[in-house]
Amino acid sequence: MKHFSRSDFPLSEVRHYLEPGPVSLISSACDGDTNIMTHGWQTVMEFSPSLVGCMISAGNYSFDLIRRSGECVINLPTADMADVVSNVGNSSGENIDKFTEFGLTAVTADKVSAPLIDECFACFECVLFDDVLVDSYNFFIFEVVKAHVARRPKNPETLHYQGDGQFMISGRHISRKRLFTKVL
Amino acid sequence: MKHFSRSDFPLSEVRHYLEPGPVSLISSACDGDTNIMTHGWQTVMEFSPSLVGCMISAGNYSFDLIRRSGECVINLPTADMADVVSNVGNSSGENIDKFTEFGLTAVTADKVSAPLIDECFACFECVLFDDVLVDSYNFFIFEVVKAHVARRPKNPETLHYQGDGQFMISGRHISRKRLFTKVL
């Protein structure tokens, strides 16, 4: 797998990468333990502060690490990582070290204890912003406090999960900017 | 624009269409007034009941209709509707009837007052399930109570918004089912 060279990216523009709905690999760490989970139930909630809402099932080993640390990194894999993304999602960190098992590289983050995944083109360091819906819905509202994005390729192919082992891969990109009169 | 023939679709499988992150046209109605807004900040939250979380900015004319009626329909347009999707998002229902203005056809829904949009391949009738985050985040938790989806095409091209007038269009589809040991 390719390792990416990432640069700082404006926090208020994180939606550019998350709003299209890509599958992510969420990394977490707490008390010396780390883990990765495959994740698809997220939405942008605000530009500034840069808020992202994530439904993380309490059945996941990562849930406890994220709940206790209040931190995670949302990492975006490219489409050529479909096998790794599937394998990460079909195993539990209770039994294995997913970084070792699946050949992923942990890189120290700037602001959170959870590591970046070096094979991902975009990594968003997150801290828990509001836990009001964690107990009732397993829904975490995170603030992205640091964003790292590779400048090339401009539009990496991303994976979008449809359930039942099926993925859509991002296709072509179009602009309708001429029709936009509002900042949307 | 094409009109679709839609059939009933299982509520617990709505994620197949929403989880990949497509742009939707949300239709609403209250006290004889109807509207449509373009929407991208949503996430699946539960299979059963079929829950979807939607961030709907209070600045939208639709916000008030949805807040008061507690209902809406999430309609999924195909990629060839990029101009309409852009125009709907860049105009306000306060001034125009968007159905008339943009050539969209309102079809009576089964369970909610908001109409389906007949030019959309999938229409999900929603009722407000929990408004706990509406005042603080403009975040509505809806339950999908009726799902209508066209059987053909199997994988319609969908629009995925990136901000600044840019859209990604869904591309090819792949299966990694052989790697799935869990129901995910």
Question: Model confidence over A103-162: pLDDT tens digits?
Answer: 999 999 999 999 999 999 999 999 999 999 999 999 999 999 999 999 999 999 999 999
Spell out which residues of chain A touch residue B15, defining contact as CB-CB under 8 Å: 162-163
- Per-residue confidence band for A63, with pLDDT thresholds at 50, 70 and 90: very high
pLDDT number for residue A103? 97
Q: Has residue B134 got a pLDDT over 90?
A: yes
Distance between CA atoms of B175 and B169, rounded to whole angstroms?
Answer: 19
Give the percent of chain B with pLDDT over 90: 96
pLDDT number for residue A182? 74
B156 Cβ neighbours under 8 A, 6+ residues apart: B76, B78, B79, B121, B150
Cβ–Cβ of B16/A42 closer than 8 Å?
A: no
Lowest-pLDDT choice from A116-120, A178-182, B11-15, B47-51: A178-182
How near does any CA of chain B get to the CA of A113, in Å? 26
How near does any CA of chain B get to the CA of A14, in Å? 9
pLDDT number for residue A68? 97
A51 Cβ neighbours under 8 A, 6+ residues apart: A44, A45, A129, A141, A142, A143, A144, B137
Question: Model confidence over A95-113: pLDDT tens digits?
Answer: 899 999 999 999 999 999 9
pLDDT number for residue A184? 73
Cβ–Cβ of A13/B163 closer than 8 Å?
A: yes
Cβ–Cβ of A133/B132 closer than 8 Å?
A: yes
Copy the structure tokens of residue A76. 């975006």
Question: Which of A13, A89, A173 is nearest residue B184 as measured by Cβ atoms?
Answer: A89
Strand partners, B160: B168
Copy the structure tokens of residue B49. 């009941």
What is the DSSP secondary structure assignment for residue B75, as one 8-state letter?
E
Would the pTM of this model clear 0.95, i.e. be above it? yes
Q: If you average pLDDT over residues A65-91, what whole number do you get?
A: 97
Q: 3-class DSSP state for residue B165?
A: coil
How near does any CA of chain A get to the CA of B59, in Å? 12
Cβ–Cβ of B19/A38 closer than 8 Å?
A: no
pLDDT number for residue B43? 98
Copy the structure tokens of residue B19. 């989880």
Tell me the CATH number of domain A6-179, given options 3.40.50.2300, 2.30.110.10, 3.30.40.10, 3.40.640.10. 2.30.110.10
How near does any CA of chain B get to the CA of A106, in Å? 23
pLDDT number for residue A155? 95
Give the percent of chain B with pLDDT over 70: 99
Cβ–Cβ of B162/A173 closer than 8 Å?
A: yes
* Nearest in space to A77 (alpha carbons), one of A11, A128, A127, A17: A17
Cβ–Cβ of B182/A90 closer than 8 Å?
A: yes
Tell me which of B179, B181, B182 to substitute to probe the interface with A (most A C-beta atoms closer than 10 Å): B179
How near does any CA of chain A get to the CA of B48, in Å? 13
* In chain A, where the domains are located: 6-179
ipTM value, please give it: 0.96
Burial class (CB in 10 A: 0-12, 13-18, 19+), B33: middle
Question: Model confidence over B18-30: pLDDT tens digits?
Answer: 999 999 999 999 9
Cβ–Cβ of B163/A83 closer than 8 Å?
A: no
Mean of the per-residue pLDDT values of chain A = 97
Find, in chain B, the residue whose alpha carbon is nearest to that of A51.
B137
